[in-house]
Chains A and B, each alone.
Chain A
Amino acid sequence: MTAASTPHPYMANSVDALKREMLDAIGAESVADLFEQIPADHRLRRPLNLPPSLSSESELRRHLIAMLRKNQTCEANLSFLGAGCWQHHVPAVCDELVRRTEWLTSVFGSPMSDHGRNQAWFEFCSQIGELVNMDMVGLPVYSWGCAVGHAIRMASRITGRHEVLIVRPTDPERLAVIRSYCEPSEMPGHIEAKLVGFDRRAGGIDLADLSGKLSSATAAVYFEVPSYLGMIEVQAAEIARLARANGAETIVGVDPISLGVLAAPADYGADIVVGTTQPLGVHMNCGGGVGGFIATRDEEVYAREYPSLMISITDTVKEGEFGFGLSLFHQTSYGMRDKGKDWTGNSVYLWTIANAAYMALLGPQGFADLGALIVERAHYAAALLARIPGVRIAFPSGFFKEFVVTFDGTGKSVADINRALLARGIFGGKDLSAELPELGHSALYCVTEIHAEEDIERFAGALREVVAS
């Protein structure tokens, strides 16, 4: 043991006398002796070379704050970024709840001792179920893209088919994740992802292309409402009908914040619904707020293919009392290792607390009001931008909160425009020109309830200046 050192506040036994007391209790000479299993030639032969410790909280805090000062936030600036991570208002109740130590520190527990957390999980699933109109909802997976990946694999196992038709335009970020889950063509479980085209004028699906690509090999058709570019697919029911007629599953991806004003996916024929959980009371966290969900009808054919943990209500031994427990656990990777359904593990369960509280706070009218507000403000922004010379809205109607702004008529690139906007404290929309060259110099703009009318007007004014300069 080294010379007496200052005990560390995170380690109760880092007091030399205590270490000695414990060593004496077990009859060991030194701590080093306890590592007898590790052969000498496996060991690091020098002390770790790490930056000096900041074991005083005030020093640590000062250091971290200094680093964070180099960030510029969407709070201090005006941001129009979306594309898989969106700035929505996070009710203070959600923030208050997720910092509670009980939830923050819970690991697994038992169904009785962590009953409250399990109930909150169940309430998350129950409320998502209402929004999407499905009876079965799993505990969340890592992200929307991961949810799509699992859903496609579920559909492939259910149908015994190995092709998925994915309706463009697709978020390249999400599509890259999906491609990982579909495995490369050299792998025996490979699922071929075929892209279905979209109508360049209206922004919706090219149904003829879909019909041409549907076949007896198609396990599933996947499309999103709203789409990556914000469009509300008007032919959703027809897509689902065509898929079903071909014996394929219909997988629909949704942004649940839209479901107060947009139809529940089950109502236009979805078999599996997936989506994001981040808009429901979780901060963007630089992309670290994302999460995904999977929902289906409560039918065994689906239930037996879920990879995720499932929480079910059940009775207790006391008459009239309910509790919650894990259901279908054995089919997960915890139960069956490589024979299980894909895999599961730690996910984003803490965020379900924020999500559950968010949905309960809003209620049906809150979702309806919020959806309407977002649609109106997004269209207001689009209308103001369309008046700027050289600026065009690629698909001027039928979108939810995101829309494509084309700058071809300005003679400027999106990068130029965004740089000039940044200098004015505005984060411009995501640059699409490299990923969707057919849309020209375009960017994806996102407007939500956090954008006040004067924010939108200020932005339109700034853009007018930038374009004219």
Chain B
Amino acid sequence: MRVKLRDYHAARWDEPVVMTMGRPGRRGHLFPASSERVRQAAGAAADLLPAAMRRRNSPALPELSEPEVLRHYLHLAQETQGMMGISLFGTCTMKHNAPVNEAIAARPKIAELHPCQDEDTLQGVLEIIHSFDAILRELSGMDQFVFQAGGGADASYTHCCVTRAWLAARGELGKRDEIVTTIQTHPCNPATAAAAGFKVVTLMLEENGYPSLEALRAAVSERTAALMVVNPDDMGIYNPQIKDWVRIVHEAGGLCFYDHANFNGVMGKLRARELGFDACMYMLHKTFGAPKGGGGPAVGAYGCSAELAPFLPVPVVVRDGARYRLDHNRPQSCGKIREFFGNVPQIVKAYAWARSMGAEGITQASDLSVLANNYMDRKLSDIRGVTRSHPHIDKWRMEMTRFSLDRLKQDTGVSAVEVQNRMVDFGVDAYWLSHEPWLVPEPFTPEAGEMYSKEDLDYWIAVIARVCEEAYADPAFVKAAPHSQPIHQIKSAPLEDPKRWAMTWRAHVKKRAAAMQG
């Protein structure tokens, strides 16, 4: 069946940078002036501020009316594709971000709360956090969750901090100084381990798509602090020896952390604690239906065993009878990794998602995400120019498959990035390639998830097929893409040139002037 591709064109507003807009004197927002009563009792601001610290030069912000600001940012919103079309962005588990959850989280009963309020005035939010903790405990088998981490990477960092506190309590901090991970585990794991002061040992993949037990045995020692590992990985390979991995690391005296970034395919199928892990992490902005927001606010929910719970960052939400409170009195705590106790609106949205889905819905979501991936896997593998990782492994993949456009590149010169630039012309979001380093040449990694319809999946597959056809027929056309977007292809050379990069408008103006003067 031939899928009809849409005749799509993105909004193109040719919108100027806000710093160049407006006219002197225009106002977008007014505040009241202090009354005479206040001035008389307190004095005027000019006299209340130390002279040495008063601002002399006004900041060169734009001067705009309110509708100009609103329209400007609405134009920019329209020049953002986001998930308006189909986004199968791998590892990010694109989900429906239910408007009801947005509406609830925006209410003053969440938005207008201060984290230092008396606990009696926060009972609703504490109850939601505690109830969601209970849901995650059931999904993972862990004994306690905290939500302080501002994203998945921050949850990995939390694990490193918890590991430090655990080691300190055993007199082993500074002695056990290595963290073992795999090359297919998300870069944030080795990165946060290094930032927390550990040496990182990275195991490479072998024949079966994961490192061997021998390699792991050779890597662990009395210096091993922890294993940080993802499973399944984003190529769709599940490591069936993971229980042995946990045993080997435990025997060496280290902790085991399960980065559940790819939880969607195994929700309700297995539990981290029962595989032996001491701790795990879920991303509420991915697996649990809270929105991405272009990169947060996010939550990395970190859960651990009772043995590790004393080392968690403070505070922890606990229940005393019918009352909930924030427990700060945890003398062995690793301290804090971010202020306060988490991105509360996102926790509320994730709780709402889990309640809407229920046990059956969550289990079905994992079924559908794995079914959808294997459906895509079959169809994409039929497209000329597309191959997949580990072709010799003849098993159904989990919720993702790593594909390669190396053949297309060899045949046509068109790369995976160039295909990405073209596919957006059909109203679908750019696919995800792969983390660094690329183990598969010219990689791309869709993740179908459970939200999208079969029609959507067929459309997405048809877009890839069409772009590959175009690459064989007219590679120059694909290389010049996109053709239907707010702007044309950007030049990347200036981005890495200190004379030309500009992270602010003022830097851009200075460098442009310098370049003109030659």
B197 contacts A188, C-beta separation under 8 Å: yes
By a CB distance below 8 angstroms, the chain A residues around B106 are 95, 99
B49 contacts A262, C-beta separation under 8 Å: yes
A105 contacts B343, C-beta separation under 8 Å: no
A373 to B19, CA, bound (A): 25
Proximity string of chain B (37-53) to chain A, C-beta cutoff 8 Å, 1 when within and 0 when not: 11101111110111011
B345 contacts A125, C-beta separation under 8 Å: no
A61 to B99, CA, bound (A): 11
A318 contacts B488, C-beta separation under 8 Å: yes
Give the distance to chain A from B111, nearest Cβ to Cβ, in Å: 4
By a CB distance below 8 angstroms, the chain A residues around B60 are 130, 364
A135 contacts B29, C-beta separation under 8 Å: no
A418-445, CB < 8 A from B: 418-419, 422, 427, 430
Q: Is B395 an interface residue (CB 8 A)?
A: yes
Q: Is A261 an interface residue (CB 8 A)?
A: yes
A323 contacts B490, C-beta separation under 8 Å: yes
Q: Is A5 an interface residue (CB 8 A)?
A: yes
A356 contacts B293, C-beta separation under 8 Å: no
A103 to B362, CA, bound (A): 26
A288 contacts B495, C-beta separation under 8 Å: no
Give the distance to chain A from B304, nearest Cβ to Cβ, in Å: 17
In-complex Cβ contact of B31 among A10, A52, A366 (8 A): A366
A64 contacts B348, C-beta separation under 8 Å: yes
A353 to B335, CA, bound (A): 31
Q: Is B507 an interface residue (CB 8 A)?
A: yes
B378-411, CB < 8 A from A: 378-379, 395-398
B296 contacts A325, C-beta separation under 8 Å: no
A50 contacts B359, C-beta separation under 8 Å: yes
Proximity string of chain A (35-60) to chain B, C-beta cutoff 8 Å, 1 when within and 0 when not: 11111011110011111111101001
Q: Is B503 an interface residue (CB 8 A)?
A: yes
Proximity string of chain A (166-185) to chain B, C-beta cutoff 8 Å, 1 when within and 0 when not: 00000001101101110110
A19 to B508, CA, bound (A): 53
Q: Which single residue of chain B is at the shortest CB-CB distance from A118?
A: B80
Proximity string of chain A (114-141) to chain B, C-beta cutoff 8 Å, 1 when within and 0 when not: 1111011111011111110111111100
A37 contacts B240, C-beta separation under 8 Å: yes
Q: Is A259 an interface residue (CB 8 A)?
A: yes
B359 contacts A360, C-beta separation under 8 Å: no
Give the distance to chain B from A465, nearest Cβ to Cβ, in Å: 19
Proximity string of chain B (68-90) to chain A, C-beta cutoff 8 Å, 1 when within and 0 when not: 01101111111111111001010
A298 contacts B82, C-beta separation under 8 Å: no
In-complex Cβ contact of B298 among A71, A346, A375, A427 (8 A): A346
Q: Which single residue of chain B is at the shortest CB-CB distance from A186?
A: B174
By a CB distance below 8 angstroms, the chain A residues around B248 are none
Segment touching B, from A205-213, A228-236, A241-249: A228-236
A104 contacts B344, C-beta separation under 8 Å: no
A342 to B160, CA, bound (A): 13
Give the distance to chain A from B216, nearest Cβ to Cβ, in Å: 17
A12 to B274, CA, bound (A): 32
By a CB distance below 8 angstroms, the chain A residues around B292 are 104-107, 346
Give the distance to chain A from B30, nearest Cβ to Cβ, in Å: 7
By a CB distance below 8 angstroms, the chain A residues around B202 are 337-338
A85 to B453, CA, bound (A): 42
Give the distance to chain B from A305, nearest Cβ to Cβ, in Å: 13
Q: Is B505 an interface residue (CB 8 A)?
A: yes
B364 contacts A346, C-beta separation under 8 Å: no
Also in contact, A375 and B45, with CB within 8 A (given A85-B340, A114-B82, A316-B490): yes
Q: Is A380 an interface residue (CB 8 A)?
A: yes
B372 contacts A22, C-beta separation under 8 Å: yes
Q: Is B139 an interface residue (CB 8 A)?
A: yes
A76 to B56, CA, bound (A): 38
In-complex Cβ contact of A373 among B32, B76, B371 (8 A): B32
Give the distance to chain A from B379, nearest Cβ to Cβ, in Å: 8
In-complex Cβ contact of A346 among B97, B296, B334 (8 A): B296
Proximity string of chain B (350-377) to chain A, C-beta cutoff 8 Å, 1 when within and 0 when not: 0010111111111111011011101101
A26 contacts B38, C-beta separation under 8 Å: no
B270 contacts A43, C-beta separation under 8 Å: yes
**Which of the four size classes fits the interface of chain A?**
35 or more
Proximity string of chain B (442-457) to chain A, C-beta cutoff 8 Å, 1 when within and 0 when not: 0000000011111010
Chain B CB within 10 Å — which of A77, A137, A287, A382 has the most?
A287
In-complex Cβ contact of B503 among A115, A144, A327, A427 (8 A): A327
Give the distance to chain A from B457, nearest Cβ to Cβ, in Å: 9
Give the distance to chain A from B122, nearest Cβ to Cβ, in Å: 6
Also in contact, A317 and B495, with CB within 8 A (given A109-B429, A130-B506): no
Q: Which single residue of chain A is at the shortest CB-CB distance from B425?
A: A113
A104 contacts B102, C-beta separation under 8 Å: yes
Q: Is A275 an interface residue (CB 8 A)?
A: no
Give the distance to chain A from B352, nearest Cβ to Cβ, in Å: 6
Q: Which single residue of chain B is at the shortest CB-CB distance from A34?
A: B396
B268 contacts A189, C-beta separation under 8 Å: no
Chain A CB within 10 Å — which of B56, B69, B480 has the most?
B69
By a CB distance below 8 angstroms, the chain A residues around B440 are none
By a CB distance below 8 angstroms, the chain B residues around A184 are 164, 168, 173, 197
Give the distance to chain A from B427, nearest Cβ to Cβ, in Å: 9
B368 contacts A108, C-beta separation under 8 Å: no
By a CB distance below 8 angstroms, the chain A residues around B331 are none
Q: Which single residue of chain B is at the shortest CB-CB distance from A38?
A: B238
Also in contact, A113 and B41, with CB within 8 A (given A60-B100, A68-B107): no
Give the distance to chain A from B185, nearest Cβ to Cβ, in Å: 9
Also in contact, A314 and B339, with CB within 8 A (given A75-B112, A130-B506): no
Segment touching A, from B148-156, B250-258, B464-472: B148-156
Q: Is A100 an interface residue (CB 8 A)?
A: yes
Chain B CB within 10 Å — which of A335, A345, A363 has the most?
A345
By a CB distance below 8 angstroms, the chain B residues around A201 are none
A25 to B380, CA, bound (A): 13
Q: Is A390 an interface residue (CB 8 A)?
A: no
Q: Which single residue of chain B is at the shortest CB-CB distance from A374?
A: B45
Also in contact, A22 and B10, with CB within 8 A (given A53-B355, A349-B294): no
In-complex Cβ contact of A28 among B22, B33, B237, B374 (8 A): B374
Also in contact, A186 and B496, with CB within 8 A (given A127-B61, A345-B151, A453-B38): no
B93-141, CB < 8 A from A: 94-98, 100, 102, 104, 106-118, 120-125, 127-128, 131, 135, 138-139
Also in contact, A113 and B361, with CB within 8 A (given A54-B356, A349-B296): no
A332 to B343, CA, bound (A): 24
A234 contacts B50, C-beta separation under 8 Å: yes
By a CB distance below 8 angstroms, the chain B residues around A48 are 138-139, 268, 359, 362-363
In-complex Cβ contact of A261 among B45, B92, B187, B274 (8 A): B45
By a CB distance below 8 angstroms, the chain B residues around A125 are 503-504
Q: Which single residue of chain B is at the shortest CB-CB distance from A190?
A: B197
A69 to B107, CA, bound (A): 11
By a CB distance below 8 angstroms, the chain A residues around B74 are 97, 100
Give the distance to chain A from B85, nearest Cβ to Cβ, in Å: 9
A234 contacts B104, C-beta separation under 8 Å: no
Q: Is B285 an interface residue (CB 8 A)?
A: yes
By a CB distance below 8 angstroms, the chain A residues around B87 are 105, 107
Q: Is A11 an interface residue (CB 8 A)?
A: yes
In-complex Cβ contact of B487 among A14, A128, A259, A321 (8 A): A321
Give the distance to chain A from B129, nearest Cβ to Cβ, in Å: 10
A340 to B189, CA, bound (A): 12
By a CB distance below 8 angstroms, the chain A residues around B28 are 360-363, 366
What are 21 inter-chain pairs, A to B, with CB distance below 8 A?
A: A35-B370, A37-B395, A39-B240, A64-B128, A103-B294, A107-B83, A107-B87, A107-B89, A113-B486, A130-B61, A137-B503, A143-B150, A285-B113, A290-B338, A311-B503, A316-B487, A318-B487, A318-B488, A337-B202, A338-B194, A368-B55
* A-B pairs with lowest CB-CB distance, top 9: A53-B358, A287-B340, A187-B197, A345-B153, A350-B293, A116-B79, A287-B115, A333-B191, A186-B174
Q: Given contacts A107-B83, A260-B59, list 11 more A-B pairs with CB under 8 A.
A: A10-B289, A44-B268, A79-B117, A85-B115, A91-B29, A100-B77, A129-B504, A323-B490, A360-B69, A373-B32, A380-B42
